[in-house]
């Protein structure tokens, strides 16, 4: 994971390093993703979200598009 000041900065870095740009998230979205992903981490029933739950988590925090479509992977 790399942190950038803006989409333009991310695009410039990708161009300079010959990389395709992946998904971008804001720090707020990253926080909400972590909260959802690890919500039950300290319980005996702790588990990662299953494939059927992940699209809903992504949609709830505004992550959409081909990069976030796990069915395409």
Tell whether 34 is covered by a domain.
yes
Tell whether 49 is covered by a domain.
yes
Cα Rg of the chain (Å, integer): 15
pLDDT at 73: 65
Tell whether 15 is covered by a domain.
no
Tell whether 31 is covered by a domain.
yes
Number of domains forming the structure of the chain:
1
Q: Is the dihedral angle over the CA atoms 56, 57, 62, 68 positive or is it negative?
A: negative
Tell whether 60 is covered by a domain.
yes
Tell whether 17 is covered by a domain.
no
Q: Which pTM value belongs to this model?
A: 0.80
Residues (pLDDT < 70) of the chain are 73
Full domain range(s) for residue 48: 25-72
pLDDT in tens, 28-47: 999 999 999 998 888 998 98
Tell whether 39 is covered by a domain.
yes
């Amino acid at each position: 994971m790399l942190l950038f000041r803006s989409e333009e900065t991310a695009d410039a870095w990708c161009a300079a390093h010959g990389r395709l740009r992946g998904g971008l998230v804001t720090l707020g979205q990253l926080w909400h993703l972590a909260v959802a992903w690890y919500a039950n981490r300290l319980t005996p029933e702790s588990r990662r979200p299953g494939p059927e739950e992940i699209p809903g988590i992504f949609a709830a925090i505004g992550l959409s598009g081909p990069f976030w479509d796990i069915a395409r992977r």
